[in-house]
């Protein structure tokens, strides 16, 4: 799922292309992508783009008439920018938003169709789509600590819950926890002040550094390679590969469609965390520490 760094870079590149431009037409290539009926989607046509913003992991395009077109990419949604008479990308295209400067194509790989478009009127209706999570890059340590410890969750759950923190998902939460040297299953209520400080600083540095890195990778072009698995990540998507800090093999916890990656030596004191599928299958054969697998 595209997270804060990816969404920020999408928005910055869209601003240079559609800010102040006229939205001429919206073509819904898959009608299920639209999740609102009032106001009708046609009411967005012919209106000037007044601004763009991020709402959690959503992209908001503000239009004349107090209208807001809200795009939620979810897991497999992506954006493409086409100029001239370029053809739409086949079956994965959900919608084409045509401006007088080019066409923004909303795509989604796979068949689950989780990505969505909302057209709403008024700031209140737009803000109602926001889960309410804190913007860590705009907050201080005290507010971060208070939000983190308001309820007792695992750190992985707390970082990725959009009601707690905004814009963080599976990929960058792994990187944040590795940077902070904290276990993904540590409970928020058990953290000391020094650990909370490490987590706060790691969250800000990881999100900031990756946003800058993606900007540089994109250059002046439109982002084409938005992925959760990037060269240069410390642990996410690197199961079995050496940790860049200590060299130990990166471990994982698999649950449903999600995978948590971590370094046992850097984050859990050498302890291998139980995998809900494999640990049950292997039972007594499941390794409990790095020493058992080295």
Picking from 81, 80, 71, the residue whose alpha carbon sits closest to that of residue 115 is 71
Which pLDDT score, from 0 to 100, does residue 111 have? 79
Whole-model pTM? 0.91
Could you give the C-alpha distances from 199 to 129, 132, 206, 244, in angstroms and in order? 27, 20, 10, 19
* pLDDT tens column, 184-242: 999 999 999 999 999 999 999 999 999 999 999 998 789 988 887 889 999 999 999 99
Q: What is the CATH number of domain 4-127?
A: 3.20.190.10
CB-side neighbour CA atoms (13 Å) of 208: 10
Q: Pick from 102-116, 169-183, 272-286 the range whose average pLDDT is largest.
A: 169-183
Annotated domain spans of the chain:
4-127, 136-292
Write down the CATH number for the domain with range 136-292: 1.10.8.50
Total count of residues recorded for the chain? 294
CA distance 23 to 21: 7
């Amino acid at each position: 799922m595209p997270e804060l760094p990816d969404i920020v870079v999408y928005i910055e590149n869209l601003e240079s292309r559609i800010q102040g431009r006229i939205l001429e037409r919206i073509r819904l290539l898959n009608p299920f992508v639209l999740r609102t009926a009032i106001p009708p989607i046609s009411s967005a046509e012919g209106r000037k783009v007044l601004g763009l913003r991020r709402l959690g992991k959503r992209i908001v395009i503000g239009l004349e008439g107090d209208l807001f077109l809200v795009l939620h990419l979810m897991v497999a949604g992506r954006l493409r920018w086409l100029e001239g008479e370029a053809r739409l990308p086949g079956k994965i295209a959900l919608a084409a938003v045509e401006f007088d400067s080019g066409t923004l194509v909303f795509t989604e790989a796979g068949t689950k169709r989780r990505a969505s478009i909302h057209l709403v009127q008024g700031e209140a209706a737009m803000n109602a789509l926001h889960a309410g999570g804190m913007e860590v890059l705009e907050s201080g340590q005290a507010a971060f600590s208070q939000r983190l410890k308001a309820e007792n969750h695992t750190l992985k759950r707390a970082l990725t819950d959009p009601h707690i923190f905004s814009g963080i998902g599976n990929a960058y939460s792994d990187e944040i926890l590795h940077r902070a040297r904290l276990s993904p299953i540590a409970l928020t209520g058990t953290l000391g002040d020094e650990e909370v400080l490490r987590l706060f600083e790691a969250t800000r540095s990881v999100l900031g550094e990756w946003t800058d890195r993606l900007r540089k990778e994109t250059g002046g072009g439109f982002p084409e390679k938005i992925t959760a698995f990037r060269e240069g990540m410390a642990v996410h998507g690197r199961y079995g590969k050496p940790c860049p800090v200590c060299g130990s093999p990166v471990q994982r916890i698999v649950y449903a469609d999600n995978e948590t990656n971590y370094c046992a030596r850097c984050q859990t004191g050498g302890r291998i965390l139980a995998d809900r599928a494999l640990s049950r299958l292997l039972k007594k054969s499941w390794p409990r520490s790095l020493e058992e697998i080295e």
